[in-house]
Structure 1
Amino acid sequence: MAYATLVSACGKAGRFAAARAVFDRMLLPGSPVQPTPAAYNALLEAAARDAGGCKLEEVERIVAEMGAGGVAMDTTTLNTLLNAFVRAGHFPRALAFFKEG
């Protein structure tokens, strides 16, 4: 859980690149820690809150990584995705996503 907490802290500071760097350490070969849904959610939130604006392409990439890794989306994931679409000004996309979910 320490990784997810650190990823979250970076995100709250508006530093997506730092959050991604911490997250990626879990993906290194031989890492004793694997990304959890909480870590993915923290990374999604970091992408949505980056100081330079919502990084929607990164959000979509993270969701794809979750799927490829067999990590199921939970309620927090879905809420974070909706918020990311809204922050990026993609209201129709947020609505469409909401209807799909």
Structure 2
Amino acid sequence: MPPAARVGDMTGHPGVIMPPGVPTVLIGGLPAATVGSMHTCSFPPPAVHPPTPVIPPGCPTVLIGGKPAARVGDMSGCGAPILPPGCPTVLIGG
């Protein structure tokens, strides 16, 4: 099972999961990330693009704030994966 993703976790390209996530659900002290949480890349110009959401499926059997939980390895709309470690003490789905 992959670790849970949270606001501030690193993504490929490189980038991060942006606030707010789900501020009422803290995982390892940080707001939970879900499908639809926004991610930003820090590519230098000219490769800059607008923020993109974490895309489905996430974990459809674990809902946080009514949306599938995001996990390490899930992808953003620009193709950047959520990178380890996430929250290694909270494992989500299969």
The answer to which structure has the higher strand fraction is 2
**Given the two structures, how large is their TM-score scaled by the length of structure 2?**
0.30
Computing the radius of gyration over CA atoms, which structure comes out larger, 1 or 2?
A: 1
**Given the two structures, how large is their TM-score scaled by the length of structure 1?**
0.29
The answer to which structure has the higher helix fraction is 1
